[in-house]
Structure 1
Amino acid sequence: MDEPKKKRITDEKTALIKAEQFCAYQERSQQEVRDKLYEMGMYPTGVESVISQLITGNYLNEERFARAYAQGKFRMKGWGRIKIKQGLKLKRVPDKLIGKALQLIDGDEYISVLQKILEKKQSQIGESDTFKRRYKLQQYAMSRGFESDLINDVLKSSEL
């Protein structure tokens, strides 16, 4: 079955309005907006023009996006710094802004979230062998983006 063809938007004013709505809904990275504009059928020169207008109008702000992304993924999804950093890199956020956003994560809260994640996973693992259980917990926390040395410290101090 053929999909109906989407109407291409080549007019900059229409694209700007659509992009403003897209950015007003939630924080976006420049790359997300760029992809959306190309998806609409815009040409490269028009895309860059619309993006610069969005930045001027404060609809688009990479630093604000990086902060919101890092805080959201940490608080809502319980992601560690490594996974957040990878996510921001995929959105093509500059390293300098990634560093700033990661610094906003409170160290004590970070460790407390890691402990909660490990305790919750501990109750789900039915492994009697201490080494295997510890290994599974470590792998799980690493898959959530936490640093291995921090995981080891938490596992040692809480005796999970």
Structure 2
Amino acid sequence: MNTMTEEEALTRVSAYCATAEHCRAEVSEKLQKWGIAYEAIERIVKRLEAEKYIDDERFCRAFVNDKFRFAKWGKMKIGQGLYMKKIPADLSWRCLNGIDQDEYLAVLRDLIASKRKSVRGKDEYEQNGKLIRFALSRGFEMKDIKCCIEVSDEEAYTD
């Protein structure tokens, strides 16, 4: 098997980091797949961080922005994605709390409104249940969903 030197790995992975934002965990995983020794991975990652190729805070802000604006994910799903990327929880929540609440609720309202057109139910209660499950699956919290579906608790439980 043709093994890569530490210098070759550094060159390849710095090119990889130059094309898009990547976090420390993604870069380490890629280097492991290439068969680079753990000590060498640590040295490479430290150098990439020193040279600003990798910055977990910058990655976190970009991830939160992209998943919210383009994928229309809620905070819970974005938080889970950051957890999977091994981003520290305090950094994740700092970036997630940077999302403007009015804009967040506007995105959720739009998602629910467009989904409402395709959701069928025998009554409004069943239809709202389906909309709630949809919004939960997108990572939005129940408190936010309730204020966007505009159904009072009394109305939802009276038949």
Which position in structure 2 is the counterpart of 1:123?
A: 117
- The Cα offsets for residues 1-55 of structure 1, whole Å up to 9 and x where unpaired, read as xxxx6x432x111111111111111111111000000111100000000000000
SS for the counterpart of 2:70 is helix
> Which stretches in structure 2 are left out of the alignment for 5+ residues?
none
- The Cα offsets for residues 59-106 of structure 1, whole Å up to 9 and x where unpaired, read as 000000000000000000000000000000000000111012102211
**Aligned equivalents of 2:116 and 2:136: distance in 1?**
15
User: What is the TM-score when the length of structure 2 is the normalising length?
Assistant: 0.92
The correspondence for 2:87, drawn from 73, 93, 96, is 93
**Aligned equivalents of 2:97 and 2:110: distance in 1?**
21
Which position in structure 1 is the counterpart of 2:104?
A: 110
> Which stretches in structure 1 are left out of the alignment for 5+ residues?
none
Which position in structure 1 is the counterpart of 2:27?
A: 33
**Which 4+ stretches in 1 moved above 4 angstroms?**
none
Deviation at 1:120, TM superposition (A): 0.7
Q: Does 1:76 align with 2:70?
A: yes
Identity %: 34
Which position in structure 1 is the counterpart of 2:10?
A: 16
Aligned residues: CA RMSD: 1.6
Structure 1 counterpart of 2:121, which letter? E
**Aligned equivalents of 1:8 and 1:80: distance in 2?**
42
SS for the counterpart of 1:77 is coil
Question: Equivalences for 1:40-59 in 2 at 5 Å?
Answer: 40-59=34-53
Comparing 131-140 and 97-106, the one that deviates more: 97-106
